Structure 1
Amino acid sequence: MSLYIEDESSITLPIETESIANLVVEAALDYIQCPFEAEVNLLLTDDEAIHEMNQEFRQVDRSTDVLSFPMLEYANPGDFSEIEEQEDAFNPETGELMLGDIVISKEHVLAQAEAYAHSPKREFAFLIAHSMLHLFGFDHMEEEERMIMEAKQREIMEKVQILR
């Protein structure tokens, strides 16, 4: 597994972002039983930059906590059986499955940790778990999808032992 992290924010989180991100990404890959070595890109930014991305890519004129940009299309969420047939699914240099990009606002991590009365570590890990599920094709637009995704998020968080 390769996790490429870029931090373009001057905001400092009081946690080891790289080790937490690696832990959660690896746990999510194990949880979903991804049969391939995979790569994920993680961009840590601020509210202003994520606001611009949210406006550009989702036409939503506000900042947000996390954005997910999946590189793959799934017949069913978390089903890797047809991935090898997708053109450009694998990095030609490494052979790793390119899952996609995660963008997290460090300002939102701190604000939501305070608002939900848990640690920045828990909030950061949760946002990565949530986004990884999006990279696996899960969504939460419908109530049933939301319930499935919430259960999977909870199980990943339990797996890494980062709880409320």
Structure 2
Amino acid sequence: MIFELEEMCEIPFEFDYSELAQKVIKGCLEYINFPFEAEVNLTLTNNEEIHKINLEHREIDRPTDVLSFPMLDYEKPGDFSFLEEGNFDAYDYDTDAVILGDIVISYEKVLEQANEYGHSIQREFAFLICHSMLHLFGYDHMEDEERKEMERQQRIIMEKLNILR
């Protein structure tokens, strides 16, 4: 797994967030049985910056907790068979990795939501990465059935990683 971390501001977390992010990403890749070397980029920022990104890319004028920018288009979530045909652009020939995409997280939302939901900052951070990884695998939550499936998968992954509420 190739993992890139960018910090757009000072991140006040009192834990090794790079290590936790890599653990969750690796756990998601193993859970979904991703068959290739994968590249994932994580950017940590604040509410002001994620607000700008959310407005620019989704035309939603407010900060959000996490944004996912998948590099692949799936016919069916979690089905990577099309990658074997080589008909995709998200491949880094220098590293032999499939570029899954980018994750952007607001550290301020992590702190707010951990407090709101009554669990640890680490758990909220890990959950947002897990949620975003499922988006990078083609899952969504726009329809009720999709939402239920995505929530089920998130729960399984978080339990496998022993990151509980």
TM-score category, normalised to shorter length: over 0.9
Match of 1:37 in 2: 37
- Post-superposition shift, 1:130? 0.1
- Post-superposition shift, 1:154? 0.6
Task: Pick which of 6-15 and 121-130 moved more.
Answer: 6-15
1:18 maps onto 2:18 in alignment:
yes
Match of 1:46 in 2: 46
Partners in 2 of 1:48 and 1:86 — Cα distance? Answer: 37
- Post-superposition shift, 1:9? 1.6
Partners in 1 of 2:18 and 2:63 — Cα distance? Answer: 23
Would the aligned equivalents of 2:11 and 2:44 in 1 still touch at CA under 8 Å?
A: no
Q: Which aligned segments of 4 or more residues in structure 1 are displaced greater than 2 angstroms?
A: 84-87
Partners in 1 of 2:98 and 2:76 — Cα distance? Answer: 17
- Same amino acid, percent of matched pairs: 57
Partners in 1 of 2:145 and 2:93 — Cα distance? Answer: 37
Partners in 2 of 1:46 and 1:75 — Cα distance? Answer: 33
Match of 2:135 in 1: 134
Would the aligned equivalents of 1:113 and 1:119 in 2 still touch at CA under 8 Å?
A: yes
Query: Normalising to structure 2: TM-score of the pair?
Result: 0.97
Would the aligned equivalents of 1:9 and 1:44 in 2 still touch at CA under 8 Å?
A: yes
Partners in 1 of 2:164 and 2:132 — Cα distance? Answer: 17
- Post-superposition shift, 1:89? 2.3
Aligned-pair RMSD on alpha carbons? 0.8
1:68 maps onto 2:68 in alignment:
yes
Letter of the 1:123 partner, please give it.
E
Partners in 2 of 1:86 and 1:129 — Cα distance? Answer: 27
Would the aligned equivalents of 1:133 and 1:149 in 2 still touch at CA under 8 Å?
A: yes
Partners in 2 of 1:129 and 1:162 — Cα distance? Answer: 11
Partners in 1 of 2:78 and 2:3 — Cα distance? Answer: 19
- Post-superposition shift, 1:117? 0.4
